[in-house]
Amino acid sequence: MSTLPLKPPPSAVEGNPAPRTALGAGYLTCFARRSPVMDGKTSSGGKIKRLVLLAGLTLALTGCAPQTPTPPPTPVIEPTTIPSPPPVMPAPTPVELPVDVTAELVNCRFGPGVVYLSLNEIRQGRTLVAVGRDESFSWWLVEDPINPGGFCWVSAEVTDEKGDVSQLPVAPAPTVTVTKLALRVEPNRIFVDCDQFPQTVFFEAEITANGPTLVAWQWEASTGVVSDVGALVYEESGTQVINEFYRINAPNEYWVKLKILSPNELTEQVAFPVSCAP
């Protein structure tokens, strides 16, 4: 009995693609061909070919086994270390010492020295509270007994200290400022015949400082005229005067101002009308 020839596998047929595995997104598809059946009988050559086909099918199925994806590594979270707050240092306790006034009448000044403005006078027998000193232990910074919340300086020569004055902190000298600016014009009103121009007006300014300093100043007029910057030297507290004049050529409403530029800024202005009769 003749043996039927086995069909060659599809890969051997010209024009048919070889069996392949197709990979998609998340799945695997395999293609296989089954062996032909020979009415229950085959030749010995047919058995070998069928075994080869079965072996190939087994390998193909093994390659189609689903692959388990490798899980991503678990991130390691480092513990957060919270820094401890720095220790809070207690504020130093202010040092206060009593001092008695021994002179009949004592000046309590703006700064540590007789060159500073006297703020008030304290009579003998008064006990003051010292809270500071100068570097030479010559002056005490005390609570002002006349102005609550304020401070002033008294000389060590006219007081009797009770306690260790070396425990008092060194207090810096205060900043000197211009405390008062007064300005006046003469004449403060002008009325003349219209043919009597020009007219001259005079200005006087009083500048008061509370200690030794250098004062810079400048005039300015409503006509746009601005003077050069002037300076006054104060070797001690007090008042100094400066004078200026201005020539008027026509009737109008005029003003003039004096500006303090340093050690602090301060401005004073006066107005003066000028009119005429034809």
Per the confidence metrics, is the pTM higher than 0.75?
no
The HSE-up count of residue 111 (CA atoms within 13 Å, CB side) is: 18
Handedness of CA 125, 126, 130, 136 (dihedral sign): negative
Residues 6+ apart with CB under 8 A from 276: 191, 192, 193, 194, 196, 197, 251
Rounded to 5 degrees, what are φ and ψ at 50? -65, -35
Is 179 a residue whose pLDDT tops 80?
A: yes
What's the rounded mean pLDDT across residues 21-47? 40
- Domains, in order of start, for the chain: 10-63 (no CATH), 97-167 (2.30.30.40), 178-277 (2.60.40.3880)
Grouping H, G, I as helix, E, B as strand and the rest as coil, residue 125 is coil
The HSE-up count of residue 173 (CA atoms within 13 Å, CB side) is: 18
34 alpha-carbon distance from chain centroid: 85
Q: Which residue has the higher pLDDT, 44 or 27?
A: 44
135-175: pLDDT as tens digits: 999 999 999 999 999 999 999 999 999 999 999 999 999 99
Please answer whether residues 264 and 178 qualify as being in contact, where contact means their C-beta atoms are separated by less than 8 angstroms.
yes
Q: What is the pLDDT of residue 119?
A: 96
Joined together, the tokens standing for residue 148 give 């609550």
80-123: pLDDT as tens digits: 666 666 666 566 677 899 999 999 999 999 999 999 999 999 99
Burial of 200: CB neighbours in 10 Å, binned 0-12, 13-18, 19+: exposed
Which of 16-20, 127-131, 244-248 is predicted with the least confidence, judged by mean pLDDT?
16-20
